[in-house]
Amino acid sequence: MDACRKYGITRFHQVSTDEVYGDLPLDRPDLFFTEGTPIHTSSPYSSSKAGADLLVLAYYRTYGLPVTISRCSNNYGPYHFPEKLIPLMIANALNDKPLPVYGKGENVRDWLYVEDHCKAIDLIIHKGRAGEVYNIGGHNEMRNIDIVKLICKELGKPESLITFVTDRKGHDLRYAIDPAKIHAELGWLPETKFADGIKKTIKWYLDNREWWETIISGEYKNYYEKMYGNR
């Protein structure tokens, strides 16, 4: 941001996360994150993102740096790194390996197709108001276990591959975003329904096995063993 001030950039955009808001209870489907929801982080990762957001807003207030921030829900789609839920389940299912699911798989996430996210960021950069935060949500709340079962169905694999493992520490229960602000100000809405997006995603991983198989065979193998090997 200092470099941006020095060279007079016209917009600094911070891609943040809905995780800065903490989580929502599973028994309150009426609650959603808005831009006014207080920051209440649960993990070191989300705390680092919240800290970055605060720095960005401070540069806007103190120096007038033209900034915007977007906080998005979980992304999915092509080129999603194989450690994440959806590509991990696709890769393991294709290889008839166990499908490790944290806890009981009841954690809820709001899934956003990556191309919809990119379009939202592009709109914010070009038309968003400086100094503003915009939430980007997919209107696609799904339990983790339901996503895994759907992937099994699409690939013709048995649900017996599902293996429940020890839950993550501080695992947030539910994320859900209200994207009313970006819709009202910039006209953005997610275009991809989850039922369509997950099929496109599975097809991409089927058509691009070399990309993710190369990753899994290398450093990721050590990561996988560290995270799931003793569970």
Taking alpha carbons only, the member of 163, 133, 138 closest to residue 148 is 163
3-state secondary structure the chain: CHHHHHHCCCCEEEEEEHHHHCCCCCCCCCCCECCCCCCCCCCHHHHHHHHHHHHHHHHHHHHCCCEEEEEECEEECCCCCCCCHHHHHHHHHHCCCCEEEECCCCCEEEEEEHHHHHHHHHHHHHHCCCCEEEEECCCCEEEHHHHHHHHHHHHCCCHHHEEEECCCCCCCCECCECCHHHHHHHCCCCCCCHHHHHHHHHHHHHHCHHHHHHHHHCHHHHHHHHHHCCC
Q: Note the pLDDT of residue 116.
A: 97
Alpha carbon distance 80, 173 (integer Å):
22
Q: Note the pLDDT of residue 38.
A: 95
Q: Note the pLDDT of residue 76.
A: 96
Q: Is 223 a catalytic residue?
A: no
Q: Note the pLDDT of residue 219.
A: 65
Q: Do the beta carbons of residue 94 and residue 155 sit within 8 Å?
A: yes
Catalytic residue among 2, 7, 19, 219: 19
Q: Is 196 a catalytic residue?
A: no
Alpha carbon distance 3, 79 (integer Å):
30
Q: What is the pLDDT along the chain (231 residues), one digit of tens a residue?
A: 999 999 999 999 999 999 999 888 888 888 889 999 999 998 899 999 999 999 999 999 999 999 999 999 999 999 999 889 999 999 999 999 999 999 889 889 899 999 999 999 999 999 999 999 999 998 888 999 999 999 999 999 999 999 998 877 777 788 889 999 999 999 999 999 999 999 999 999 999 998 888 888 776 667 667 777 766
Q: Is 18 a catalytic residue?
A: yes
Catalytic residue among 23, 45, 59, 220: 45
- Per-residue tokens: 181: 């602000």
- Per-residue tokens: 102: 């944290």
Catalytic residue among 2, 7, 18, 185: 18
